Amino acid sequence: MSNGLKNIEDIVKKQPILLFDGVCNLCNHSVQLVIKNDVKNRFLFAPLQNPDIIHYLEKNPNNFKGIDSIILLTPKKIYTKSSAALRVAKQLRGLYPLLYIFYIIPKPMRDLVYDFIAKNRYKWFGKQTSCMIPTPELKNKFL
């Protein structure tokens, strides 16, 4: 991305961007699952390790320190942790939208479960040494 911050702001006005931990195996498999079930091509993807994404989040007035697994940037709002995961699930095909029922659970309670999984994700699912590189067919879905 040449203009970094400005491009991200322009892109997110048109299409939600799902930010993920690019070295986490669970996160990478989750992104693959979203791509497979996002039949309307609603989402773009970017690893949190992307320098333009890091800069964008640092300039954002919200505090995103400590969120190192998933963030959903939309034109109206930025969603984190369980809220981001459930918002994404709601847009997928199949039974995934049924998971959105968990949105009725207060965010602090949802995020306790989310944080427990996120804290243990490297131990349970492993970690890569570098961010995944999308295949040529998927390259247009990634920033």
Mean pLDDT by 10 residues, the chain (143 residues): 66 93 90 94 92 84 74 92 96 96 97 94 87 75 85
Predicted local distance difference test score (pLDDT) of residue 108: 96
Domain ranges of the chain: 5-136
Predicted local distance difference test score (pLDDT) of residue 116: 95
The whole-model pTM stands at 0.87
Number of Cβ within a 10 Å radius of residue 40: 8
CA-nearest of 72, 18, 49 to 128 is 49
What residue spans of the chain are helical by DSSP H?
5-14, 25-37, 51-59, 81-90, 107-125
Decide yes or no: CATH 3.40.190 for domain 5-136. Answer: no
